[in-house]
Amino acid sequence: MTSRLLEALDERVLVIDGAMGTKLMDQGVSVGSGLDYANLDAPGVVQAIHRDYLAAGADILETNTFGANRFRLAKHGLTDKVRRINRQGVMLARSVAGNERFVGGAMGPLGKPLAPIGTVSTDEAREAFHEQASALIEAGVDLILLETFSDLSEIKIALEAVRSIDAELPVAGFLSFTDECKTIYGYKPEECARSLMEGGAQLVGANCSSGPEHLHEVIDRMHRVQDARVLVLPNAGLPAYVDGRYVYLTGPEYFARHAQQFIEQGVRAVGGCCGTNEHHIRSVRAIVGTRAPVAVEDRTKAREISVVESEEPARTDTKQAASGGRFIKKIEEGTFVVSVEIDPPKSVDASKMIRGAAMLKQAGVDAINIADSPLARARMSPLALATLIRQEVPIEIILHMSCRDRNVLGLQAELMGAQALGVMNILAVTGDPPSVGDYPDATGVFEVDAIGLIGIMERLNQGVDLSGKPLKFNTEFVIGCASNPTSDDVDREIERFLRKEEAGVHFTMTQPLYELESLERFLEKTSCGVPVMVGILPLRNGRHAEFLHNEVPGMFIPEDIRARMKAAGDQGPQEGVQIAREFLEQAKPLVQGTYLMPPFNRFEMAVEVIKGLVED
């Protein structure tokens, strides 16, 4: 049975409304409480925006529910209000649209990457989309709009959830594309259109992205798929930061000129995304009028192509003369390896760290470990410090990379930079939250955790992107992870470590240890299949020992060690070195290397700990 909406789309080009989020922010609605919550907290504001778009000539009004899924609402403590927010969103749009105009239920991505890169399982994603879609459908939407997706796998799960509720309701699947005509996960327009149509979407399209100019090729390529009904919702260009807020500069006239071109390309509906308002939609309405869709069948058949690559892309040689991995080769050959951590400076002067690296190299250290702003303190970029050290000192680098400050796109960019600079050893860490650092009001990203980052590196090593598609290069990362044998929740720590192993890790570095029992228990329970570098942090004095034990998460210092440090008095540093040496001698037969963390970049303490060790 053909719906009234699909009949309308076959007869004439429809106009979809413009942005909701940026309009709400212009009206003073707080992002902090969640824009979707405005359905309950400021319903009059939402209705007024719908009325503006109706008056501008929109045929389809979208509900204010783009982020109203349990994962996004959890950030605002609103997981118990998923159904209320979605149902209220439909009621507000319908109260303005009546029965003459159409109401589209807006559904966006979950806001968290799916496993194996992220932590959200397929079942969890399906449940979340099902929960939101059922509320929208029960409330009486005329169609579902799945918008601003980058991961084809995720939007297909959302589509499956909708189809499990209603097999006939019109569904439009929109993805967001870069200027290179791919999503950030590497999917092409024709591939997306074909896959969504095979999954039961009657409508496909592109939205958001960088503006209308770069979407013309996307639309053209979607039309290569036979019988595709294509829609488009561009942004009003890219935003500029003006007087403390983001402003979209693309005007209504320019936007309407592109709408004219989209119609000539054969789209069935045109609207706007971020930064557009009722003035943009009014200009589009004037262009659209009562036009019938432009037929594209003839050129569709001529242009239809396979979504399978005809040939593998040419690969770029990314090997560097000073590439990493020598320390892991030493381990494979049976050599006990030593790494020493250097914290990046809190200034732009790295001279002390370079001198320290030279001292450690001379002392026989195999690698320098560079932390990534530990405790969320603002410091020099670890990759910058790695580059500065390698310019002066021929020593291998193990680079920490934190998930705190970068989304998936930023992590991949940083990894590509590390590969290009010849820094191949990467220690994946989730990272300390900003609330513990210098800027507690800063926000962390944490789009993935350490397990997800390991998965990203493993894919890049295989020469494929996040969607599994071949890249023009492949990386050669030696992938490390952190482990904590003294964790308060040992079972969870072991479970996460096993997942890291499964994701493709090559070695692990433990938290600082001071007694053998925790290490032995960890090795026994994990049957560790990767080399272990035991962490050792030489203590400076009794206060240092008490601070680490009582105030630093994940640290455990036995009472007898703390007593020894207290009794040492002014001889604390010497006693700390002695304790570290004693433990290292006990642990050495069980592990493949050590990871020394001299406090406050006191490199001489690390040298004292390993004296004689490198000759053994």
Tens digits of per-residue pLDDT, 101-124? 999 999 999 998 898 888 899 999
Average pLDDT over residues 255-269: 96
In tens, the pLDDT along 158-168 reads 999 999 999 99
528, 509 in Cβ contact below 8 A?
no
Q: Please choose, from the candidates 165, 222, 233, 161, the residue with its C-alpha nearest in 3D space to the C-alpha of residue 197.
A: 222
Confidence band, pLDDT 50/70/90 cuts, at residue 304: very low
pTM score, whole prediction: 0.74
Domains and CATH numbers, the chain: 4-303 (3.20.20.330), 326-610 (3.20.20.220)
- pLDDT value at 212 more than 50: yes
Which of 276-290, 390-404, 437-451 bottoms out in mean pLDDT, i.e. has the lowest? 437-451
More confident residue, 468 or 355: 355
pLDDT category, 185, cuts 50, 70, 90? confident
Q: What is the pLDDT of residue 143?
A: 97
Alpha-carbon gap, residue 440 to 434, rounded angstroms: 5
pLDDT band at 2 (very low <50, low <70, confident <90, very high): low
Predicted local distance difference test score (pLDDT) of residue 245: 62
Phi, psi torsion values for 124, nearest 5 degrees: -65, -40
Q: Do residues 146 and 159 touch, judged by C-beta distance below 8 A? A: yes
Q: Taking the mean position of all CA atoms in its chain, how far away is CA 265?
A: 34
pLDDT digits (tens, 9 = 90+) for 122-180: 999 999 999 999 999 999 999 999 999 999 999 999 999 999 999 999 999 999 998 88
pLDDT band for position 478 (cuts 50, 70, 90): very high
Q: Which of 29-38, 145-154, 499-508 has the lowest mean pLDDT?
A: 29-38
In this predicted model, what pLDDT tens digit does every residue of 550-608 receive, in sequence order?
Answer: 877 778 899 999 999 999 999 999 999 999 999 999 999 999 999 999 988 889 999 99
DSSP H or E run through 566? helix 559-568
Q: Is the pLDDT of residue 436 over 70?
A: no
Q: Which of 27-41, 237-251, 270-284 has the highest mean pLDDT?
A: 270-284
What's the sign of the alpha-carbon dihedral 69, 70, 72, 74? Answer: positive
| Alpha helices, DSSP H, located in 144-214 | 152-165, 189-198
pLDDT at 488: 80
Orientation of helix 516-526 relative to helix 572-587, angle to 10°: 30
Quick one: average pLDDT of 45-61? 97
Number of other CB atoms surrounding residue 325 within 10 Å: 15
* Percent of the chain clearing pLDDT 90 (strictly above): 72
- pLDDT > 50? residue 457: yes
pLDDT over 80 (residue 432) = no
Residue % of the chain over a pLDDT of 70: 90
**What per-residue confidence (pLDDT) applies to 433?**
64
Instruction: Give the pLDDT band (50/70/90) at residue 375.
Output: low
Rounded average pLDDT over 279-296: 92
Residue-level pLDDT at 240: 66
Question: Looking at residue 616, what is its pLDDT?
Answer: 46
